[in-house]
Amino acid sequence: MKLPELKIGSLIAKIPIIQGGMSVRVSTSALAVPVAECGGIGTIGGSGIPVEELQEDIRKAKNATKGVIAVNIMYAMRDFYDLVMGSIEAGADMIITGAGFSRDIFKIGKAHNIPIVSIVSSASFAKLAEKLGAAAVVVEATEAGGHLGTNLSLRELFPSIRKVVSKIPLIAAGGITNGYEMAEMMDKYGANGMQMASRFVLSEECSVSREFKETYLKAQQEDIVLVGSPVGLPGRAIKTPFVEKMLADEDVSAKSCLYQCLKKCNHKYCISERLLASHGGDVDNGLVFSGANTFKMKEILPVREIFDRFVRAAESVYKENKDYKKYTEDKEDTVAEQIKTHSEVQ
């Protein structure tokens, strides 16, 4: 069965896939544009870069596609507000935010008529986001890469949030590697779409270094570990020599704070410095964030091929949300019974 479209606010993605917004400079217009052209939502990682650079990349993307271009900005960033306002000014279609929770972002979204999507890892924050005006909620589980807000798996976490969020789309994120899993989350769990990041790192269009991608390709399951982050949250990354030093409690702290990027930083190490190192090819001294199931992916593919494979696999088994359909049918039967009873009384 054909996959449904994903509607967030007034925006429509023909394919219900959001490409995760990976910073620093992992998700740029080079990746977001082909994703948008394939009918998904292309996302630029807006954290850890100057506002002017982000705006230039957004404008580049918007000039290259009529598809949906989102910007992902971590609430933990010191310049969060400037990055949000700069993204809106540059023409971004949507703001996606996580790594903390902002209440004010929804007022900004309403004032500027731009959808705000919250990344959450608990039912309480999901419910609050819907109440405050989120256009959609991304449920991010422990299988995700980067900063994590829970130790619950996607299939454990998602049902509790599906119970409390009913008026806006609910997106599943964390560990999805193929279209069969995508269809399962939509059929069995009632997800309206997927957010995926790690799969798109292993695309031809992703602009990270070859060494970064090789680290993904070589990773075994035991190489993907949890690390501490200066943000104050655990993070999921691939074991590199730098990460091994961290895990051994060696001193990896920065000599000085060059970037002043976070609102609160424990200075355990400089996250911007380490992310930029791996992006540029110095993986030994860098941090390589990764989802838990990256070890399952062994090919670098064009974005178009990634979409085609996901859609083909998903549509081969997708049957729509049976539970929701049953609920609808039961409700219709109840209404029909009420009409029948009312007619008999008269």
Confidence band, pLDDT 50/70/90 cuts, at residue 321: low
Closest CA relative to residue 106, chosen from 133, 126, 79, 66: 133
Separation of CA 309 from chain center:
20
Q: Flag whether the pTM goes above 0.85.
A: yes
Residue ranges per structural domain of the chain? 6-207+297-319, 210-294
Please tell me which residue, 279 or 342, carries the higher pLDDT value: 279
Mean pLDDT of the chain: 91
Residue 340 has pLDDT above 80, yes or no: no
DSSP string computed for 56-104:
HHHHHHHHH-SSEEEEEEETTBTTHHHHHHHHHHHT-SEEEEESS--SH
160 is written with which tokens? 């509790």
With vertex at residue 60, the alpha carbon angle to CA 281 and CA 290, rounded to the nearest 5 degrees, is 35
Cα–Cα distances in angstroms (integers) from residue 199 to residues 22, 108, 194, 301, 306, in the given order:
12, 31, 12, 9, 8
Q: How big is the chain, counted in residues?
A: 346
Distance (Å, whole) CA 342 – CA 346: 6
The string of pLDDT tens digits covering residues 124-182 is 999 999 999 999 999 999 999 999 999 999 999 999 999 999 999 999 999 999 999 99
The sign of the torsion formed by the CA atoms of 111, 115, 120, 122 equals positive
Residue 191 has pLDDT above 70, yes or no: yes
Is 177 in contact with 208 (CB distance < 8 Å)?
Answer: no
**In what side-by-side order are the strands of the sheet with 146-147?**
146-147, 234-238, 224-228
Residue 52 has pLDDT above 90, yes or no: yes
Residue 301 has pLDDT above 80, yes or no: yes
The string of pLDDT tens digits covering residues 82-118 is 999 999 999 999 999 998 888 999 999 999 999 999 9
Cα–Cα distances in angstroms (integers) from residue 149 to residues 53, 174, 239, 294, 305, in the given order:
29, 12, 20, 19, 31
With vertex at residue 65, the alpha carbon angle to CA 311 and CA 135, rounded to the nearest 5 degrees, is 70
The mean pLDDT value for 36-49 works out to 96
Residue 327 has pLDDT above 50, yes or no: no
CATH architecture under which domain 6-207+297-319 falls: Alpha-Beta Barrel (3.20)
